[in-house]
């Protein structure tokens, strides 16, 4: 008996939550948006999602095998990266494009920096931006019901009327997963309620962005234009970005206060890019830029340790 008793230092119990569980929950949270995307854009969207997920997993496993590391695709993080990347693609891109995107996400952004937890940029977003720069035309052509058309956000920028209700429900042009604000909000709430993500980043991101938009609306003479605000909130990648990309553990601040700063920073950057930038979209670039500033944000938001600076009680 003496030999079978395990010795280790305390604590001797562990919470049930594991990395795999967490990734699984995020995948579940993305299901409403994924299913809606397939419903909205058809089997082509489904095919793109499968190709992206499968190639992400294969690239990760192959890289880890070739470099003699432990193969960790079982933790589902590559599956998640693949799904997020697919949801960020227009439904009309050719099938080889997500394979290139997956390579960039997994090999360049994630594995070359040391694998899970080491990358400084969100792999899915890094790949999306890479694709946007390399294949601008293909990545910015949106078709809806077999007709090529502009996204609502581009219409908004051009000063045209947009249908806010359709944007909320997602029956518009856009990338596979971003159009349905409703589905994304449901998923986001699920993540917050189950404790997978903290409310701070999405709330401060969306909140500060809304505030900047309203200030702009009033200052630019539109007045207190609620439908302009709602169109900005439901349009483009904001909901997908705020709930699922900005909250990526690895590339967002770990400190509670840092999450607040990060959210506000993203709100400001997204506002600037969307209103003053060349394209209608701004979420991806805002988050990527924000990712780069995370080490700095963390450095200035280190929590004060318990009892620091305490004075003796006389």
Partner 1 sequence: MGLFTFKGGIHPYDGKDLSKDKAIVDYLPKGDCVYPLSQHIGAPAVPLVKKGDRVLVGQKIGEAQGFVSANIHSGVSGTVKTIEPRMTVNGTKVNSIVIENDGLFEEVDFKQNVRPLDEMYREDVKDAIKEAGIVGMGGAGFPTHVKLSPKNEDAIDTIIVNGAECEPYLTSDYRRMIEEPEKIVTGLQIVINLFDHAKGIIAIEDNKPDAIEKLKGLTENIPNITVNAVKTKYPQGAERQLIYANTGRQINSSMLPADAGCIVHNIDTIVAIYNAIIEGRPLFERIVTVTGDAVHETANFCVRLGTNAQELIDAVGGFNIEDPGKIISGGPMMGKAMFSLDVPLVKGSSALLCFQEDMVSAVEPSNCIRCGRCVEVCPGRVMPNKLADMALHGDYDGFVKCDGMECCECGCCSFVCPAKRHLTQIIAGTRKQILANRKR
Q: Is 308 in the site for partner 1 (CB under 8 A)?
A: yes
Which of 304, 220, 203 lies closest to 255 in space, CA to CA? 304
Q: Is 198 in the site for partner 1 (CB under 8 A)?
A: yes
Q: Is 12 in the site for partner 1 (CB under 8 A)?
A: yes
Least gap, CB of 306 to partner 1 (angstroms): 5
Least gap, CB of 202 to partner 1 (angstroms): 15
**Beta carbon nearer to partner 1, 163 or 298:** 298
Least gap, CB of 117 to partner 1 (angstroms): 4
Q: Is 8 in the site for partner 1 (CB under 8 A)?
A: yes
Among 106, 250, 266, 288, binds partner 1 (CB under 8 A): 250
Least gap, CB of 35 to partner 1 (angstroms): 26
Among 249, 295, 296, 300, binds partner 1 (CB under 8 A): 249
Q: Is 225 in the site for partner 1 (CB under 8 A)?
A: no
Q: Which stretch binds partner 1 (CB under 8 A): 51-59, 212-220, 244-252, 261-269?
A: 244-252
What would the x/- binding string for partner 1 be over residues 88 to 127, using CB under 8 A?
Answer: ---------------------------xxxx---------
Q: Is 292 in the site for partner 1 (CB under 8 A)?
A: no
Tell me, letter by letter, the H, E, C secondary structure of the chain.
CCCCCCCCCCCCCCCCCCHHHHHHHHHHHHHHHHHHHHHHHCHHHHHHHHHHHHHHHHHHHHHHHHCCCCCCHHHCHHHHHHHHHHHCCCCCCCCCHHHHHHHHHHHHHHHHHCCCCCCCCCHHHHHHHHHHHHCHHHHCCEEECCEEECCHHHHHHCCCCCCHHHHHHCCCCCCCCCCCHHHHHHHHHHHHHCCCCCCHHHHHHHHHHHHHHHHHHHHCCCCCCHHHHHHHHHCCCHHHHHHHHCCCCCCCCCCHHHHHHHHHHHHHHHHHHHHHCCCCCCHHHHHHHHHHHHHHHHHHCCCCCCCCCCCCCC
Q: Is 313 in the site for partner 1 (CB under 8 A)?
A: yes
Q: Is 68 in the site for partner 1 (CB under 8 A)?
A: no
**Beta carbon nearer to partner 1, 16 or 133:** 16
Q: Is 7 in the site for partner 1 (CB under 8 A)?
A: yes
Contacting positions for partner 1 (CB under 8 A): 1-2, 4-15, 17-19, 21-22, 72, 75, 77, 115-118, 198, 249-250, 252, 254-256, 302-308, 310, 312-314
């Amino acid at each position: 008996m003496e030999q079978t008793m395990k010795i280790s230092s305390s604590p001797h119990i562990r919470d049930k939550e594991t990395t795999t569980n967490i990734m699984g929950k995020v995948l579940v949270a993305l299901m409403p948006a994924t299913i809606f995307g397939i419903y909205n854009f058809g089997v082509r969207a489904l095919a793109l999602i499968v190709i992206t997920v499968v190639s992400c997993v294969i690239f990760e496993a192959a890289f880890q095998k070739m470099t003699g590391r432990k193969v960790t695709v079982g933790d589902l993080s590559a599956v998640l990266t693949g799904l997020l990347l697919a949801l960020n693609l227009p439904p009309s891109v050719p099938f080889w494009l997500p394979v290139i995107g997956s390579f960039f996400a997994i090999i360049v952004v994630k594995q070359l920096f040391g694998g899970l937890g080491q990358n400084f940029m969100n792999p899915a977003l890094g790949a999306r931006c890479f694709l946007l720069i390399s294949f601008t035309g293909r990545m910015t052509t949106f078709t809806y019901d077999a007709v090529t058309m502009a996204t609502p956000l581009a219409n908004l920028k051009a000063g045209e009327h947009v249908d806010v209700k359709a944007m909320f429900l997602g029956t518009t042009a856009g990338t596979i997963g971003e159009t349905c604000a409703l589905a994304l909000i449901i998923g986001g709430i699920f993540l917050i309620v189950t404790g997978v993500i903290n409310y701070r980043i999405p709330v401060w991101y969306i909140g500060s962005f809304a505030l900047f938009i309203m200030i702009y609306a009033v200052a630019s003479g539109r007045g207190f234009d609620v439908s302009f605000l709602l169109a900005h909130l439901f349009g483009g990648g904001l909901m997908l970005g705020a709930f699922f990309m900005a909250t990526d553990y690895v590339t967002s601040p770990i400190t509670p206060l840092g999450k607040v700063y990060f959210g506000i920073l993203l709100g400001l950057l997204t506002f600037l890019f969307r209103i003053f930038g060349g394209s209608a979209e701004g979420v991806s670039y805002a988050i990527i830029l924000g990712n780069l500033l995370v080490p700095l944000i963390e450095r200035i938001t280190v929590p004060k340790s318990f009892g620091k600076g305490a004075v003796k009680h006389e």
